[in-house]
């Protein structure tokens, strides 16, 4: 049943001093594993880099400064579906034409953090050298069990359920029609927004095509599609252990990662490095402050376990849902540094493809790695759909 006019409360969390002192004590008491000679990043997170990062976390990182920076975003909490939901709601600063509402959906291992750099570029393009007519009203929710949204007491919602929550959130904010965009799990959520609410979603933009699901004979696929299927299989065998843990035994990993900031950082940082366009040097894509802000949100909210459980929920989605074709106009920006990038033939098979670009720089977290490029992609793609949304 739809929520009746949910109450929206401004939200600016502030960590208690005792939480920060406890964190520093844990960091300084880290019990380090032995490391095979010359292991580097070949077996997971490089322990030498992790020691450097944790030393800075304990004695150099200024969480209060990062907390204040995040507080400059207009943030709110409301209740939907029995859960407290945290979200950014930033309105267009100086609109010069129809304003398109846009809901941005994040993935794992992140939160609203993924879009924190790009929000001002989208709401006030004129102040950043772009056309003021391309301004958006931007909504960036934390999925249940992520960031500052509530952790579900029962089973985690899957991407279909989260898409339904975001449709209700947009209604609560007064938006009948809107655009949707996202990557990683947020790509799935955006896909289901388009599938289940096509009368409201004017267009959908994604930075990946998800992992492939195909019910037919592989002989029907193009050579490029078959090669991509093989690439995904090889990638999953080499890189997919984390996802298998999330799907099957998330509570086992959650016990250690919730208790140990070193373990939490290792679990997240390895993915930030391997999925980014950093050439093996994570600090080409992020500063230590940026890395630790992402990790810190997980630490303070205790959401690593609840975020992983969404993989379990998504693994139970019925196959017929996974093979539905998106008929809403669809655009993709496949950033060159991302993983398992689908071929055009697959995107044409599975969506109403109207736009495909391949930016030269940026990876899985493109909205954070390359915010200017990402903002330009969204402005370009959604430009033809503004009048439809306004109407």
Domain boundaries, the chain: 43-390
Alpha-carbon distance 332 to 219, whole Å? 25
Q: Calculate helix-pair angle for 17-28, 261-274, nearest 10 degrees.
A: 80
The answer for 253, left when phi > 0, alpha when psi is -120 to 50, beta otherwise, is alpha
Domain 43-390 belongs to what architecture? Answer: 3-Layer(aba) Sandwich (3.40)
The pLDDT of residue 60 is 98
The pLDDT of residue 5 is 64
Report whether 162 contacts 143 (CB < 8 A): yes
Is 59 one of the catalytic residues? no
Report whether 134 contacts 125 (CB < 8 A): yes
Q: Which stretches of the chain are assigned E, i.e. beta strand?
A: 9-10, 75-80, 83-90, 100-105, 136-141, 178-182, 201-206, 326-333, 351-357
The pLDDT of residue 2 is 46
CB burial readout 84-111, b (16+ within 10 A) else e:
bbbbbbbbbeebeeebbbbbbbbbbbbb
DSSP H or E stretch at residue 251 = helix 250-259
Give the DSSP letter of residue 206.
Answer: E
Residues 6+ apart with CB under 8 A from 163: 189, 190, 191, 192, 193, 195, 196, 197
Query: CA geometry: angle at 45 spanning 315 and 19, to 5°?
Result: 85
Among candidate residues 137, 142, 158, 184, the one labeled active-site is 184
> In the chain, which residues have pLDDT < 50?
1-3, 391
Q: Which two tokens stand for residue 221?
A: 């696929």
Alpha-carbon distance 47 to 55, whole Å? 12
Report whether 19 contacts 300 (CB < 8 A): yes
Query: 216: burial class by Cβ within 10 Å (0-12, 13-18, 19+)?
Result: exposed
Among candidate residues 277, 364, 374, 385, the one labeled active-site is 364
- In the block, residue with structure tokens 């939480």: 19
- In the block, residue with structure tokens 């919730």: 258
The pLDDT of residue 348 is 98
DSSP letters spanning 120-163: HHHH-GGGGTS-GGG-EEEEEEPPTTSTTSPPPSSSPP-HHHHH
Is 7 one of the catalytic residues? no
Among candidate residues 311, 338, 374, 385, the one labeled active-site is 311
Alpha-carbon distance 19 to 217, whole Å? 55
**Whole-structure pTM over 0.85, yes or no?**
yes
């Amino acid at each position: 049943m739809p929520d009746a006019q949910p109450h929206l409360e401004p939200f600016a969390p502030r960590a208690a001093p005792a939480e920060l002192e406890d964190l520093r004590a844990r960091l300084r008491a880290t019990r380090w594993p032995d490391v095979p000679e010359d292991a580097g990043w070949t077996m997971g997170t490089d322990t030498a880099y992790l020691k450097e990062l944790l030393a800075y976390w304990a004695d150099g990182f200024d969480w209060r400064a990062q907390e204040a920076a995040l507080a400059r975003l207009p943030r709110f909490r409301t209740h939907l579906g029995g859960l407290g939901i945290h979200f950014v709601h930033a309105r267009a600063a100086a609109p010069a034409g129809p304003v398109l509402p846009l809901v941005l959906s994040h993935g794992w291992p992140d939160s609203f953090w993924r879009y924190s750099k790009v929000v001002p570029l989208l709401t006030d393009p004129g102040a950043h050298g772009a056309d003021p007519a391309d301004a958006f009203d931007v909504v960036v929710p934390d999925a249940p069990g992520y960031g500052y949204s509530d952790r579900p007491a029962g089973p985690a919602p899957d991407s279909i359920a989260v898409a339904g929550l975001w449709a209700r959130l947009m209604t609560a904010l007064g938006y009948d029609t809107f655009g949707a965009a996202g990557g990683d799990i947020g790509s799935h959520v955006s896909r289901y927004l388009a599938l289940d609410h096509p009368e409201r979603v004017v267009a959908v933009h994604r930075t990946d095509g998800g992992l492939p699901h195909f019910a037919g004979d592989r002989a029907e696929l193009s050579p490029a599609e078959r090669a991509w299927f093989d690439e995904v299989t090889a990638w999953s065998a080499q890189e997919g252990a984390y996802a298998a843990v999330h799907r099957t035994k998330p509570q086992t990993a959650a016990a250690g990662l919730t208790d140990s900031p070193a373990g939490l950082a290792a679990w997240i940082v390895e993915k930030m490095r391997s999925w980014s366009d950093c050439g093996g040097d994570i600090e080409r894509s992020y500063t230590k402050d940026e890395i630790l802000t992402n990790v810190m949100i997980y630490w303070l909210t205790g959401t690593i376990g609840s975020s992983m459980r969404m993989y379990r929920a998504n693994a139970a989605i019925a196959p017929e849902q996974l093979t539905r074709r998106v008929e809403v106009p669809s655009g993709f920006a496949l950033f060159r540094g991302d993983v398992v990038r689908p071929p055009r033939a697959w995107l044409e098979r599975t969506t109403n493809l109207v736009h495909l670009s391949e930016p030269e720089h940026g990876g899985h977290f493109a909205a954070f790695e390359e915010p200017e490029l990402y903002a330009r992609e969204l402005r370009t793609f959604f430009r033809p759909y503004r009048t439809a949304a306004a109407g």
